[in-house]
Amino acid sequence: MHQPSPGSLAEVLMRAMEQSPVIVIITDPAGLIEYVNPMFCLVTGYSSDEIVGKPSRILKSDVLPSTVYAGLWNKLINGEDWKGEFHNRRKNGELYWEAATISPIRNKEGKTEHYLKIAEDITRQKAMEAELKEAEFQRDRLIEEMRRLAVRDALTGLYSRRAFNDELNQAWQIGERRGLPLSLLMLDIDHFKVLNDTFGHQVGDQILIETSHLIRATVRAGDIVSRYGGDEIAVILPLTGPEETHRVGERLLYAFRKNIFCRGIHDLHVMVS
């Protein structure tokens, strides 16, 4: 097999770097740039004359933490290769990402005389990854919202009828297994259809919202409040016997008697049965 002469081999290697589709940079041990290939110039906007002799930190964007560069130099000083990603700055100020490998180039005695960096512009891939993550984030938010709507009534924020049935079944089974009391209150807003027809659906919605707030503020934190139907509110009272349930009902009726709904607009007195 024909072996190229040292001179022709050096020429081949130089052409390979000049025609390479990746970025090639050679620096001295202090990090001063000695050589850049045309791909470097294309990506960064710097010409070879502008960049040779300058410190490689001229490309730093100050976006990456200093620990990245400290780890890089620690490896290189110890004679090891470094692989990672840089967030660098082009000549025009734009930021770009590159995936890079930096290797020491040693002389015959094993002393590092140069560093060789081979890198690839991955800005487009990073942008696509960011768009994918954003799409996944929006998808997760949509799924979570759908789950929330399945559990919560959109208007009042109370448990939906479906979620109420699940909670009731679970509470009932626990009570049955352990012999614990469980009570249920069903409340209807008095004359709700008349209020809707007289003042409009917007006022009707406001009454429902205020009703939900009033009930949640009156019952215990562990009680489960659900919008069971149009103007029907169901309250599950775990660990509650008849006497305590009666007292909860009295507290609710008292809260409604003293509350003014749509205050400052219609000042309505609303009761529940």
* φ, ψ at 224 (rounded to 5°): -110, 115
Task: Give the mean pLDDT of 59-77.
Answer: 88
Question: What is the amino acid identity at position 184?
Answer: L
What's residue 258's pLDDT? 93
* 57-66, 132-141, 219-228, 241-250: least confident range: 132-141
pLDDT tens for residues 6-46? Answer: 667 888 888 888 998 999 999 999 999 999 999 999 999 99
- For 87-109, give the secondary structure using H, E and C: EEECCCCCEEEEEEEEEEEECCC
pTM above 0.85, yes or no: no
What's the number of CA atoms in the CB half-sphere (13 Å) around residue 36? 25
Please provide the DSSP assignment of 242-261 as one string: HHHHHHHHHHHHHHHHH--B
CA angle 190, 148, 134 (to 5 degrees): 145
pLDDT band at 1 (very low <50, low <70, confident <90, very high): very low
Contact 25/39 with Cβ under 8 angstroms? no
pLDDT tens for residues 243-253? Answer: 999 999 999 99
Find the largest Cα–Cα distance for the chain.
104
What's residue 228's pLDDT? 87
**H helix runs in the chain, sequence order:** 6-18, 38-44, 48-51, 66-77, 123-151, 161-178, 192-199, 201-218, 242-258
Nearest to 57 by CA among 126, 122, 117, 121: 117
Percent of the chain's residues with pLDDT above 70? 95
Expressed in angstroms, the distance from the first to the final Cα of the chain is: 101
Is pLDDT at 208 greater than 70 in this prediction? yes
- 148 three-state secondary structure: helix
* 68-82, 160-174, 248-262: least confident range: 160-174
Task: Give the mean pLDDT of 53-77.
Answer: 89
What's residue 26's pLDDT? 95
* φ, ψ at 59 (rounded to 5°): -90, -10
pLDDT tens for residues 121-179? Answer: 999 999 888 888 888 888 777 767 666 666 788 888 898 888 888 888 888 888 888 88
Question: What is the amino acid identity at position 109?
Answer: E
What's residue 174's pLDDT? 85
Is pLDDT at 73 greater than 80 in this prediction? yes
What are the distances in angstroms from CA 161 to CA 64, 158, 230, 239?
Answer: 51, 9, 11, 21
What's residue 34's pLDDT? 95
